[in-house]
Amino acid sequence: MAQAKLPARSEDDGDLFEKLFSNVTPLPAHGRVIHPVARRKPVPEQHLRDERAALADSLSDHIAWDVGMETGDQLVYLRNGLSPQTLRKLRRGHWLIQAELDLHGHTTNEAREALIEFLNSCRKENARCVRIIHGKGLRSKNREPVLKTKVANWLIQRDEVLAFCQARQVDGGGGAVMVLLKTGARKRP
């Protein structure tokens, strides 16, 4: 295939251009402001990736069981320095349940993120007692509760969690946990 050759550029090309456009008159000013094209703000992709990674790492699945938690079939936790009476009141349903989170059907990662969002929301709403339904694991592999121990591990790592215990039978029994949370400082009049 033959390629078309362009004529060599001579010095008089500039002269030719000026001759061609010498009779052209500029358009009159229209009096309008021409705004510069708006540029989109840059998206901090790396910052967003870091935030997602921090969220995922904020609640680890690896925690020592001897951190104030009783072992056995029932989940029980009381933060150091609190009276055993607090746990007793929580077990007996002394506080009204102010919020609830149902984790049925969630994967481990989905459950972790949902729990973080739920606890942050409870903190904003100043909720004192909440119920988290993790399920009994009847539809899971080996019919064992997958989320039960993970939820306990995640709760232990949160500063606002004062205590938690297995829910009363009427509140979900072995498939749910009652959690007592710190509330914000109350303002005095």
Please provide the CATH number assigned to the domain covering 54-181: 3.30.1370.110
Q: What is the DSSP letter of 41?
A: P
Q: What is the DSSP letter of 10?
A: -
| pLDDT in the model for residue 11 | 62
As a 3-state breakdown, the chain gives helix, strand, coil percent values, each rounded to 5, of 35, 15, 50
| pLDDT in the model for residue 28 | 83
Radius of gyration of the chain (CA): 33
| pLDDT in the model for residue 173 | 83
| pLDDT in the model for residue 174 | 83
| pLDDT in the model for residue 163 | 94
Per-residue confidence in pLDDT tens, the chain, 189 aa: 555 565 665 667 778 888 888 888 888 888 888 888 888 888 888 888 877 766 665 655 554 444 444 445 678 999 999 999 999 999 998 999 999 999 988 888 899 999 999 999 999 999 999 999 988 876 666 666 778 888 999 999 888 999 999 988 888 888 899 999 998 755 444
Comparing CA positions, the residue from 168, 58, 49, 75 lying closest to residue 119 is 58
Whole-model pTM over 0.95: no
| pLDDT in the model for residue 40 | 83
